[in-house]
Structure 1
Amino acid sequence: MKRIIVVAAAVAGAAVVAVGATVIATAADPVSPEVLGATPADAGHGDEGKYTTGDYVLTVHELDDDGEGISTAIGPHTTFYSKTLHGTGTRKPTVLKFAAGADSDAPVVFGYPVPAPGRGVDCVASGTEAAPQVRCETKLPAR
């Protein structure tokens, strides 16, 4: 029964397709509601994305409304700060999508909205590659 559900999800377009640094995502990918964190962002990183990985590679996709954007694979036990959270040039990301593993076609396991300009996001991956968990909080600038 599990295999039928997995195949049905893949056929429905839940997978992310990567072409170079451009990613196309489907509207079927889930996006969690925004959560405002109680603590400010790390000093000097107030409007950046902070992504902390667990025991596996975490691939972060920063996508705009057209599903295009930048993907970054972050190694295990690493913290990465993204200066492209709020865009570069005319491309403005609106959603973050997370996949477990370095494969460009790894399925999205979690989505989170990009916070308003001037705010950062702190996302932490835990669990295993087979059963990943990602949690994000929107952070206000450090004071």
Structure 2
Amino acid sequence: MKFTAKRVVVTAAVAGAAVVAVGATVIATAADPVSPEITSSAPADAGHENEGKYTTGDYVLNVHELDDGGDGITTAIGPHTTYYSKTLHGNGNRKATVVKFSAGPDSDAPIVFSYPVPAPGRVVDCVASGTEAAPQVRCETRLPAR
């Protein structure tokens, strides 16, 4: 096989791209940071104390309410929907500690945002925007309804 400068450059570029792609995937799956809690002075919606409020944008939003072991409940919420979760602070013996979000119809899609479950009596209010390809989720902890 004859090696030309062009063939060497193309081969090196393809190999470099493969290494970068694998590295980025490893970093994205290994690093699953939980965003810091943001507390709002706005009260929770009346009648929905201790619940999670999730509002979706133009895509299906998967909400994963998980405990420290990664077990919990996943709920797929359709586009342009507001959903109140009664299981935010646990269900039976399981106590959720984090809420994670993924976008699209596949519940196993990569996590795009994580937020800590607030203390009992407080609620989390999360709003999804952007697109399925570039989802954005913003959450804040709200005080009990007045």
Shorter-chain TM-score tier? 0.7 to 0.9
Q: CA deviation at 1:2?
A: 7.8
Structure 2 unpaired stretches of 5+: 1-15
- C-alpha change, 1:39 and 1:101, in structure 2 (3 Å) is same
Is 1:102 aligned to 2:117, yes or no?
no
- After the TM superposition, which residues 14-93 of structure 1 pair with which residues of structure 2 at under 5 Å, given as runs? 14=29, 28-93=31-96
- TM-score, reference length from structure 1: 0.84
Q: CA deviation at 1:47?
A: 1.0
Task: Provide the rounded CA distance (Å) in 2 between the counterparts of 1:99 and 1:2.
Answer: 26
Higher helix share: 2
Q: CA deviation at 1:7?
A: 3.6
- After the TM superposition, which residues 122-137 of structure 1 pair with which residues of structure 2 at under 5 Å, given as runs? 122-137=125-140
The share of aligned pairs that are identical, in percent, is 74
- C-alpha change, 1:5 and 1:141, in structure 2 (3 Å) is farther
Task: Provide the rounded CA distance (Å) in 1 between the counterparts of 2:32 and 2:135.
Answer: 16
Q: Which runs of 4+ in 1 moved over 4 A?
A: 1-6
Is 1:120 aligned to 2:123, yes or no?
yes
- C-alpha change, 1:67 and 1:80, in structure 2 (3 Å) is same
Q: CA deviation at 1:12?
A: 5.4
What is the aligned residue count?
131
- TM-score, reference length from structure 2: 0.83
Q: CA RMSD in A?
A: 1.9
Structure 1 unpaired stretches of 5+: 15-25
Any idea what the Cα deviations from partners look like across 1:56-96, whole Å, max 9, x if unmatched? 00000000000110000000000000000000111000000
Q: Which residue of 2 aligns with 1:17?
A: none
Is the Cα contact below 8 Å between 2:76 and 2:107 reproduced in 1? no
SS at match of 1:38: strand
Structure 2 letter corresponding to 1:78: T
Task: Provide the rounded CA distance (Å) in 2 between the counterparts of 1:41 and 1:83.
Answer: 13
